[in-house]
Amino acid sequence: MTKIKEFKEKQRFTQNLLVKSVVKGVTQKGSPYLSLVLQDNTGTIDGKFWDASEKDMEEAKPGHVELVSFEVLDYNNALQLRVHSIKDIDQEPIDLSEYVMSSPVEVEQLKERIRGYIQSIQNENLKKLVTGMFQRAGRTFFDYPAASRIHHNYLGGLAEHTMGMANLADYIAGAYPYLNRDLLISGVLVHDMGKIAELGGLVSNEYTLEGKLIGHISIGHGWLMETAESLGLADAQETLLLRHMLLSHHGKNEFGSPVLPQIPEAEALYLIDYMDSRMVALRSALENVKPGQWSQKMFAFENRQFYKAGK
């Protein structure tokens, strides 16, 4: 099987690919079509299935590996697939490791680095709260993606995002000594734990019912309150500050935070989260762009295109 990273313009294949997402549309002339995101363990690629029939639409199931017939095209300096047919197949014998992307950082390295950051917390109450949260999350924390799309949307993405943010937080706490390093590192380590319940998993990019109705910020805050209660720390000042960090880490009400940052560490957490997610999203967008070419327009970046300079 030819991997997505090996695709070249004008090639034609019929092979299995994971259907990551499906969006139905209608052209200006009234013809139905499907916009697809297809995936293997080397990456994702957009596809268009023009003049899709009702049967085609039924066959295209998000989260399933399916037999896809397609041609590889160059569209706006990026490869895209023109899909000719798609057929759902028996999922039982499929080895999902061939279709699920993983973090470029080894899981043992992620575990070691995050354990190191937990041990570096000097404040005993904060260390107990963070340790309790990780005990609640279990090994799932190191399996989950950090998002359904845009950034860190692969096996181990949540842990990689957390580690990347902790690296930035450690540097920033040194650059601005008035910041409480323990609080900042603690906020980084627990800020996205609710995503374990918000996201459906590695194969489908669908949100869970709990994720849709409540969201990872509220879920994580609930877990933190339960952890604090179990440790006898519900009324501790560290718990209150860490709750504020978690609730405000998206930085703005319109981005999903019920409160805005009102302590310097919370403002720093918001900026660190924003930076790490944006940089990794750009890394992914430019990965398959040739030097001297532009990326496609990126909705998450106000529909801007980014230029990939040659080395």
The one-letter amino acid at 185: I
The pLDDT, as a whole number, for residue 202 is: 61
Cα–Cα separations (whole angstroms), residue 56 to 53, 73, 82, 88, 240: 5, 21, 14, 10, 52
Pairing of strands 43-50, 65-75: unpaired
76 phi-psi bin (left φ>0, alpha ψ -120 to 50, beta other): left
Structural domains for the chain: 4-98 (2.40.50.140), 107-284 (1.10.3210)
pLDDT in tens, 97-127: 788 777 777 788 889 999 999 999 999 999 9
pLDDT in the model for residue 149: 54
Closest of 78, 75, 74, 13 to residue 40, by C-alpha: 13
What is the per-residue pLDDT for 73?
Answer: 94
Q: Are 266 and 249 in contact (CB under 8 A)?
A: yes
Strand, helix or coil at 65?
strand
**pLDDT tens, position by position, for the chain (311 residues)?**
899 989 999 999 999 999 988 999 999 888 999 999 998 888 889 999 999 999 999 999 888 899 999 999 988 778 899 999 999 999 888 887 788 777 777 788 889 999 999 999 999 999 999 999 999 998 888 877 755 554 456 777 889 999 999 999 999 999 999 999 999 999 999 999 998 888 766 665 567 888 889 889 999 999 999 999 999 999 999 999 999 999 999 988 988 899 999 999 999 999 999 999 999 889 888 887 889 888 888 888 999 999 999 76
pLDDT of residue 210: 86
pLDDT of residue 203: 62
Rounded CA separation 289/296 (Å): 9
Which pLDDT value is given to residue 205? 57
Predicted pLDDT of residue 299:
84
Q: What is the pLDDT of residue 20?
A: 84
Closest CA to 71 of 12, 1, 19: 12
pLDDT on residue 88? 92
